[in-house]
Structure 1
């Protein structure tokens, strides 16, 4: 990956002036750096508070989801909470300062957690789409098919697959060679997940396959949504126990479709850039990678906002819980 360090020699510094072999550090005006710190800190605070609010609301409220769906949403929100509270603050420093000041061991830990959380998010969304598929197409058999064991297997496999790949990536110690050199040869460097040459297999298994499954499922649901809605209305005056449930599930599925759309908008540019970069000799600018990485992180920021804007019960429950909290304080 091309660092794209441009400008006069005076515009380039090193991460550790007292150490030989220190990585280069691109300098920028103080006003710009402070503005970026303010922007990224705001994103971090919004991500942490938003996902924490989802966790609290889902845990302490009666909502329209099944217990298994609740657990999937909770697990997804935990991933967003950890991403905002643990990964993003250190990524902020690395992005703005273009240096890693926290040591090699913590670099490996940070990168591993980053990979695990991002991959787990993909698999959670895919399993949520499967849950919506069963709820829409098999409403009368939903509780028989989507049992507690099924949801435990979904959540466990999401975290398990992501963890295996995350640790395997670190153990294999991939390097990105840039014009005859390696980013990892200098002191003060820490390649994040977006800078690692992890190949087409990664993009295929952890992005394109889950995304293809989600698009097929939601595409089929959208195709029959109008027909099902007409059937529901025509059976309003008849004793059809599945009709209210199906209408409710369609509404929930519509919101989850927006959640998936948010994921695609945030993550697709990063994955496409990650695939193209090795094909063009790692000449894509590091600044572009950093920007796309933060766009991808915004997925965890926007998810709670979607629940706030599209679920009235969520807003009402959040208001009640927050009012009780402030009254007690």
Structure 2
């Protein structure tokens, strides 16, 4: 996502030099360093999320409802790295949009959509963990593969309808003085949100889902602590009890890992969403360079997710090792047990 400061007193295209970009004040050396750094970030994003996608699809042990939600979210992060970051990189380094205003809208729509898809997935994963830990007897009958497919469809379709509808209708820019002239005259891809849609985006796209997820994970923590107290008061356990508790322990670990993923998302994206919320109330005075920096800070969330999985999940580290060493070409490896902890 991207916004920029605009002047409110222009009525023609003279200041834009016939749709030309302003001179880039960065030296070739600085631009080279920026290109190298950003390219490294989106290549890491693409490769890391491809490893998650391939691991979950390839190894049968990983075919679970939670992991399929993680798979869908990894696809989101992969697409952000593959289809969004390269164009945003050129815009950020060159201070110019070379790809036309129609593609600007398409690019921004996908950018906004993928961000919302991620947070929808995080909400869905939180609900999945809630049923697994707080209502384990109903989990298998509630979170079926059919239910996961329906949830995934909602996670993709609702953000897509919102993002493309708002951007292509230009409802997000309704009432912004000078926006139409800026679009016609400049080569800066100036997408902005007015007060109404900026508030809607912040509330529906970040604040409300964050509150829902926070409430769910607090409930999971309370239930987990209750289970620990019950266990501490019981001296003897049957094998069946021990097996059930081991399963609950794995669910708690998964919930803890995914809560870290949620926290990383909020830390990365909250500054950008908050700036979008404030900007129209500050008469669009927030510098475009600051918006750009906050936007890239949000993008880095897609880079961080595979690193989080690699740190917390032994199965991902082992699967990644198989991929790198080429052992996955052995068909019998599909059924191998990656780890005792899922």
1:10 — aligned with what? Answer: none
Unaligned runs of 5+ in 2: 8-14, 331-342
State the secondary structure of the residue aligned to 1:282: coil
Q: CA deviation at 1:3?
A: 4.2
TM-score (norm 2): 0.84
Q: Is the contact between residue 129 and residue 218 of structure 1 (CA under 8 Å) also seen in structure 2?
A: yes
Q: CA deviation at 1:196?
A: 3.5
2:128 — aligned with what? Answer: 131
State the secondary structure of the residue aligned to 1:24: coil
Q: State whether structure 2 residue 36 is matched by structure 1 residue 78.
A: no
Per-residue displacement from partner, 1:31-82 (whole Å, max 9, x unpaired)? Answer: 211111111001011000000000011111244x662212111110001111
Q: Is the contact between residue 176 and residue 183 of structure 1 (CA under 8 Å) also seen in structure 2?
A: no
Cα distance in 1, alignment partners of residues 312 and 257 from structure 2: 7
Unaligned runs of 5+ in 1: 6-13
Cα distance in 2, alignment partners of residues 296 and 279 from structure 1: 22
Q: Is the contact between residue 4 and residue 285 of structure 1 (CA under 8 Å) also seen in structure 2?
A: no
Q: CA deviation at 1:235?
A: 7.3
TM-score (norm 1): 0.88
Q: CA deviation at 1:107?
A: 1.6
Out of 119, 123, 130, the position equivalent to 1:122 is: 119
Per-residue displacement from partner, 1:147-182 (whole Å, max 9, x unpaired)? Answer: 122211210111011110111122222438888565
Q: State whether structure 2 residue 174 is matched by structure 1 residue 172.
A: no
- 1:249-260 to 2 correspondences below 5 Å: 249-260=251-262
1:203 — aligned with what? Answer: 202
Q: CA deviation at 1:225?
A: 2.4
Query: What is the aligned residue count?
Result: 314
Cα distance in 2, alignment partners of residues 4 and 188 from structure 1: 13
- 1:1-329 to 2 correspondences below 5 Å: 3=5, 20-63=18-61, 67-173=64-170, 174-175=172-173, 180=178, 182-192=181-191, 195-197=192-194, 198-232=197-231, 234=234, 237-238=237-238, 239-240=240-241, 242-324=244-326
Cα distance in 1, alignment partners of residues 100 and 151 from structure 2: 35
